[in-house]
Structure 1
């Protein structure tokens, strides 16, 4: 049976859209690129503000980007673009597309095809074919750092509670001592008045 012309056109169109070179970039890549561009514009708009805090930006060369404050990035920026606040999930996605952590002292990520002013290169970035359970070493390190930080916060909280408890106890003891000394003062004054009154009566009796 001969192929209908319309069917041929449909097949050719479908094949055209399936080509990775002519398709659209992955939504994750577009959103990550957009947030960097928009954050840079916002930073320029508020350049003279003393309260402006850098959260995420391109590096100086524009060939990688840096998350300066993971806490603020997770709290305020991720929900605007990805509808979640999970920094680890964001890092996993970067790893899936072949990004590498390019610095040891900060959260800087690099990909040869992810460059400032080259949005056209995004279409050339493809997902890595690897097991989803394979995590980069720096992600595991971030988990350990988070656990250490959480443990430190809990320990500090426990110490503060203990200190507050001790201070309350000391304050209670001081109040009891003050009350005791006040009662002692009152008692001494009564004794003094009684002694003074008896002495005056004795002197009056002698004179008479």
Structure 2
């Protein structure tokens, strides 16, 4: 089993297993060009400081992080770049990050403060959350699926036509989700692929464009 696979086998794992998996990710950081290699995360209630420390090591950066109290990470990502994983992790636990000069700096958002931009925009995932047709729970298990085809599947499930920007059609989606509402699945997919969701014409059409 590769280090990446060890890190991926974590659904509902106890914290000791999470720590072992994070150690495996740290070991993989020692390989050449680790920061540019896709990584896999499957974490349930993993300590935020350990997850961010492991990602900093993959990025070959020194971590600067103020105290944060108890924040845990629950996320599933497959075959993404370390910076993409870092963005998704920070969006899920409420932090901002900057990377440069060999340092990864973390700034914590106040609890109950501003939400990630993909959710805070009126035309983003929050708007979909209020639309009943995007409330159906789905199971998704995708690996390197074309984004255009995935979104066409959402159109069939929700009954809402989807317009996809041409530059996103051939982007790939790798995700593992269980019993999540359609709007949440779309939010996760767009986090990883850098896209923006807009409901148009009184929720009669969904547009997906680059963020």
The alignment's TM-score, normalised by the length of structure 1, stands at 0.24
The structure richer in strand per residue is 2
The structure richer in helix per residue is 1
The alignment's TM-score, normalised by the length of structure 2, stands at 0.24
